[in-house]
Amino acid sequence: MWGTKGKFVKVTDSWQWRYPETFAGRNRRDITEGHRLDMYQLGLLNVTLCIENDAVQSSVRTMSSDPETTKHKAHSTGTVKKKHRSRSTPRYNDADKPRKKRHVSAANSFASIPNAIKLSMLNSGLLPTSRFNDENGTVADSITDRPIEISQFMKLCEQRKKFPVLYKLEFEIAEKTEPHSCRHGTKKSNLEKNQNQKCIPYDYNRVVLDTIDGEHDSDYINASYIDSLLKPNAYIVTQGPTEETVTDFWRMVWQEKASCIVMLTKTFDFIKVMCVQYWPASNELEETYGGIHLKVIQEEELANFRIRTFRLYKMENGVVTEERFILQFHFTEWHCHSSPFSNALLEFRRRVRAVVGHRIKSKEAGPMVVHCNDGGGRSGVYLLVDANMELGEEEDKFDVFGYLKKLRQSRMGMVENVDQYKFVYDTLEEYVACGNSWFSVSELSQRLKQKSQRNPMSKLNEYQREYMLICKQTPRFTIGDCAGGHRGDNRKKNRDVLIVPPDNFRPYLTSFQGNNFTDYINAVFVDGYTKPREYIVTEWPLKSTLGEFWSLVYDYECSAVVVLCVPPHNSQQFPSFWPEGRTPKKYGPVFTIDHISHNHYSNIKTWVFRINKKIVSLTELMAGVKAPPKTVQLFQLMCWPMGHRVPTSTNSLVELMNMVERWRQRTDYGPVCIVSPDGRSRCGIYCAANACIEQVIQHGEVDIFQAVRTVRRHRPQLIENITEYKYCYDVVLHYVLHYLHKDLNELKGKNKH
């Protein structure tokens, strides 16, 4: 008999309650909480599950052994109403005894349920997580605070992908740590020295500064010593310096002989000052904090982080008495309450270990100073990743959950939420799956020969294996992620509805061209090696989007436009979007393009244009806003015919990259706009190969695997086949063999001057 919640069915000699088909959805997410509570209250729902065809189906405990009694309880609507009796009557008390026994029996049987079924119930929400860690300490074998072999770690990650509730369970267990004394951090005189009152150091492991005569509580700073998995007091975790504590910060760095500084926050983020800039703004300036003189010696900029070298020294009577050099690694692409890209953090960590590894292992070197804004979430994530990778390199083991509990016992708020904890697993999983993909440029020719050899077991060569791994780890965007491109007024601005930019990574147009224009163009930012958002990848403009294209170039101050195709002349499908003669031409209602000069080389054509913008917004006209003209150079590669996957001349492509770089050095290094027929093919080759060439020049390394992963972050369709992927290696090899020596000599000459 079906009702609103199910029906009674006869199983052997008893009657049981079953869900209707409408409630047989995956993981029971479509069953309302009210239904579950009603069934638990009535004693209809048991804790066992029947898993069939990957759909979790509930089975409930046996009702009365008397079918007639069960039938009497189920009326036509399928609901069961509980009869209210006076608790004072003997009849009620007699009936209540077996009911209580059945509930006790069901509770005791929870421990005997198979672990996979428990996880399914918790994952689907049929049971609260509090039932999983009950009074008897029932914890699944899936949760262990013991180190696990790296060879078994991938299985652990797969299990957590199947049952994401395990992240929550582990995090909740780690949160339940015994509180320690925070007497010093909660003193009235020290409260203003804390950015976040929920992230205060414990007394037993706080950093104690040398006292200053005449200053009360001058020994306090919001900082904690924390052990790694191999070394005691390997880290000092602290909050970002404030105006009141910047002097204390440098006193601590000097006193503890810090090996390096790891900074994981921007100075300003989410309309809030996260951390003051505690170093001089330029190399020419010098600052003094508590008798410690500070000067920036060198600064290196990469896409996701910067490396600064500081000179610290003390003086007496005008004479330098002691001098030290310390490096600061500043990760700039980790916004508050979010997680960065895993490969970016792994590269950052590699740079930290490569530069200061020998200092950290030295007995004389002090701890690594790590800070975010409050010394909590992001700092905890970095320590959890760094310490486990260090343990993995030494002992081939990870201890993620065990170290999380240790961090929580060492400092408040370490690893802020479940999402950050999941990010740690994802990062370590990527580290295990991808390994070290970089190698020295001197090994390039030999490595390419090895990559062409097939593995006798898998029948794949190294190019194919790497590309399959890249495809497996490429992010997938939903329609909701790309909502702007799917709006009704923007849909016709896409050549292919399947190639639409995600809203978080697309450039928003700011030039007002009329009420019928929106902020949308089918384009996406791509990171380079030394700068974030160094490239803007877009498709060949449609007739209806010519104005939007030049708005993109103007609004984002693109220094160069690179066109990687030669469509047929006067093509209706690919209309010309620049003036080929000397006569100015108008595109859209506000942009006019003036021809300045042009040059033709072997397989390359270049034009220099001036972009003029007309102000048509009434608000801007009344405010007297001016729109200055801007200059851009357009480069067109002529040796890449339509329909070809790679150009006919690799030398011409490399020469084009060099020409663009020389032009950018003469300008303000704005982003480069890359144009291909569909915004997908060809563009990835240019971005990935150019980033690798920069890596070769800067550090003498080659890492095409990670370069391709980087360009596919924001547009997964880039490098769309194995042919393009292999060609990236060929481009870098050609550059190394024919251009590297010359470019390095030019770079040395500039540095001398």
* pLDDT tens digit sequence for 520-538: 999 999 999 999 999 999 9
The pLDDT-based confidence of 214 (bands split at 50, 70, 90) is confident
Q: Per-residue pLDDT tens for 5-48?
A: 455 555 555 555 555 544 444 444 444 555 554 444 444 454 44
The Cα–Cα gap between 465 and 433 comes to 12
**Residue 230 pLDDT:** 93
H or E segment at 673? strand 672-676
Instruction: Using DSSP, state whether 653 is helix, strand or coil.
Output: helix
Would you place residue 68 in the very low, low, confident or very high pLDDT band (cuts 50, 70, 90)? very low
Mean pLDDT across 331-336? 92
How many other β-carbons are positioned within 10 Å of the β-carbon of residue 127? 18
d(CA 218, CA 290): 12
* Range ranked top by mean pLDDT from 80-94, 424-438, 614-628: 424-438
372 pLDDT higher than 60: yes
Joined tokens for residue 96: 């209540």
Strand partners, 633: 560, 608
pLDDT at position 336 is: 84
Question: What confidence tier does 510 reach under pLDDT thresholds 50, 70, 90?
Answer: very high
CA distance 125 to 32: 10
CA 348 from chain center: how many Å? 13
Q: Is the pLDDT of residue 430 over 60?
A: yes
Higher pLDDT among residues 128 and 395, named by residue: 395
Cα separation, 715 vs 106, in Å, equals 52
Question: Which pLDDT belongs to residue 41?
Answer: 46
pLDDT > 70? residue 348: yes
Tokens 């490396």 belong to which residue?
307
Which sign does the torsion angle of CA 317, 319, 324, 329 carry? positive
Distance CA 186, CA 235 (A): 23
- The amino acid that residue 168 corresponds to is K
* pLDDT value for 71: 46
Crossing angle between the packed helical segments 165-175 and 400-410, to the nearest 10 degrees: 30
How far separated are the first and last CA of the chain, in Å rounded? Answer: 91
Given the structure tokens 């794949």, which residue do they identify?
460
Q: Which pLDDT band holds residue 229 (cuts at 50, 70, 90)?
A: very high
Mean pLDDT taken over the chain: 85
Residue with tokens 């990957």: 54
- Which of 151-160, 282-291, 737-746 is predicted least confidently? 737-746
> 300 forms bridges with which residues in the sheet?
307
Rounded mean pLDDT, 260-287: 92
pTM of the model: 0.82
CB contact at 8 A, 578 and 634: yes
Say how far apart CA 128 and CA 143 lie, in whole Å.
Answer: 17
Kindly give, in sequence order, each residue whose CB lies less than 8 Å from that of residue 316, ignoring residues fewer than 6 positions away: none
* 179-194 pLDDT, tens digit each: 899 999 999 999 999 9
What is the pLDDT, as a whole number, of residue 700? 95
Please, which pLDDT band fits residue 258 given cuts at 50, 70 and 90? Answer: very high
Sheet holding 235-238, edge to edge: 206-208, 220-226, 235-238, 368-371, 260-263, 319-331, 305-316, 292-301, 286-289
Share of the chain above pLDDT 70, in %: 79
Instruction: Give dist(CA 122, CA 168) in Å, integer.
Output: 10
- Name the least confident of 27-41, 115-129, 224-238, 424-438: 27-41
The mean per-residue pLDDT over the stretch 419-423 comes to 96
Handedness of CA 353, 705, 658, 685 (dihedral sign): negative
DSSP string, 179-248: P---TTTTSTTTGGG-S-TTS-B-GGGEEEPPP-TT-TTTTEEEEEEE--SSSTT-EEEEPPP-TTTHHH
Greater pLDDT, 105 or 472: 472
Res. 299 pLDDT band, cuts 50 70 90: very high
SS3 (DSSP) at 36: helix
- Judge contact between 636 and 674, C-beta under 8 A: no
Beta strands in 270-378 (DSSP E): 272-273, 286-289, 292-301, 305-316, 319-331, 368-371
pLDDT for the residue 376:
92
* CB contact set of 662 (below 8 Å; sequence gap of 6+): none
Cβ 307 vs Cβ 328: under 8 Å: yes
270 contact partners, CB below 8 Å, separation of at least 6: 335, 336, 337
Q: How many CB atoms lie within 10 A of CB 681?
A: 20
What is residue 47's predicted lDDT score, i.e. its pLDDT?
A: 43
pLDDT of residue 337: 79
What mean pLDDT do residues 352-370 have?
80
Please check the confidence at residue 66 and state whether its pLDDT lies above 50. no
In the structure, what pLDDT confidence band is assigned to residue 379 with cuts at 50, 70 and 90? very high
Q: In Å, how far are 198, 212, 285, 485, 708 from 317, measured between CA atoms?
A: 44, 21, 21, 66, 56
Q: What Cα–Cα distance (Å) separates residue 173 from each residue in 48, 117, 557?
A: 24, 20, 51
pLDDT at 154 over 70: yes
Number of H helices and number of E strands within the chain?
21, 27
pLDDT tens digits along 683-730: 999 999 999 999 999 999 999 999 999 999 999 999 999 999 999 999
Judged by DSSP in three states, 153 sits in helix
CA angle 576, 582, 587 (to 5 degrees): 40
Rounded Cα gap, residues 679 and 720, in angstroms: 11
Say how far apart CA 190 and CA 220 lie, in whole Å.
7
133, 139 Cβ separation under 8 angstroms: yes
Separation of alpha carbons 188 and 220, rounded Å: 12
Res 74 pLDDT > 50: no
User: In angstroms, what CA-CA distances link 207 with 180, 223, 225, 226, 250?
Assistant: 15, 6, 6, 10, 13
Specify the pLDDT at position 624.
85
Q: Count of CB atoms within 10 A of residue 136's CB?
A: 9
The pLDDT value recorded for residue 579 is: 94
The owner of tokens 């209580």 is 100
Q: From residue 415, how far is each of 332, 407, 420 by CA, in Å?
A: 19, 8, 6
Q: How far is CA 266 from CA 40, 275, 277, in A?
A: 50, 7, 9
HSE of 438, CA atoms in CB hemisphere, 13 A: 17
CA nearest to 499, candidates 749, 304, 721, 677:
677
Distance of CA 596 to the CA centre of its chain: 43
Structure tokens at 533: 């958002």
Q: Is the pLDDT of residue 103 over 60?
A: no
Report which of 272, 262, 257 is spatially closest to residue 238, judged by C-alpha positions.
262
Distance CA 341, CA 352 (A): 17
Supply the pLDDT for residue 138: 46
Look-up: residue for tokens 């890359």?
674
Q: What structural domains and CATH numbers belong to the chain?
A: 7-139 (no CATH), 191-434 (3.90.190.10), 443-472 (no CATH), 475-752 (3.90.190.10)
Tens digit of pLDDT for each residue in 300-328? 999 999 999 999 999 998 899 999 999 99
Residue 741 confidence class, pLDDT cut points 50, 70, 90: confident
Q: How far apart are CA 310 and CA 325, in angstroms?
A: 6
Assess contact for 265 and 336: CB atoms under 8 A. Answer: yes
Write the single-letter amino acid at 354. A
